[in-house]
């Protein structure tokens, strides 16, 4: 059963703590993306990766870090430097992320709440 999985679905964090959100895909997609969504707003791109061992900052990368050691996995770390981390985090993947933008498929998301 192919798809994108994210875990956990809900995450609570104390201020000052780093936390890592998991994203895994078995679609054999080259490109993966992380977005955050705040109430009443569109998705904003945090980081993206077009290929293993390479990733690029998106529009709001400050306070976040990522790694892409395996094609299937693109974990996102929300660090204590992120001023307002409470949001809905969405991971996506596409066949390729180069010249032609393919359709992006989304995981079910992780809701992060900072207490």
Interacting residue ranges for other proteins, rule: CB under 8 A: 35, 40-45, 48, 50, 56, 58, 88, 90, 97-101, 103-109, 111
Cβ–Cβ under 8 Å, residues 77 and 85: no
- Give 62 or 81: the residue with its C-beta nearer to other proteins: 62
Element (H, E) at 114: strand 110-114
CA distance 44 to 82: 15
Q: How far is the CB of 36 from other proteins (least distance, A)?
A: 11
In the complex with other proteins, the residue whose CB is nearer, 21 or 90, is 90
Closest contact distance (angstroms) between CB of 4 and other proteins is 9
* Burial of residue 35, with CB atoms counted within 10 A of its CB: 0-12 exposed, 13-18 middle, 19 or more buried: buried
Q: Minimum distance from CB of 74 to other proteins (Å)? A: 15
């Amino acid at each position: 059963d192919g798809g994108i999985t994210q875990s956990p679905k809900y995450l609570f964090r104390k201020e000052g703590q780093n936390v890592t959100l998991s994203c895994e895909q078995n679609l054999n997609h080259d490109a993966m993306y992380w977005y955050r969504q705040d109430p009443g707003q569109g998705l904003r791109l945090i980081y993206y990766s077009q290929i293993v061992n390479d990733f690029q900052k998106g529009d709001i990368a400050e306070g976040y870090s990522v790694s892409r050691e395996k094609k299937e996995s693109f974990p996102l770390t929300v660090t204590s430097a992120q001023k307002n981390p409470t949001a809905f985090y969405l991971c996506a993947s596409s066949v390729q992320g180069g010249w032609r933008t393919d359709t992006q498929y989304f995981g079910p998301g992780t809701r992060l709440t900072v207490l």
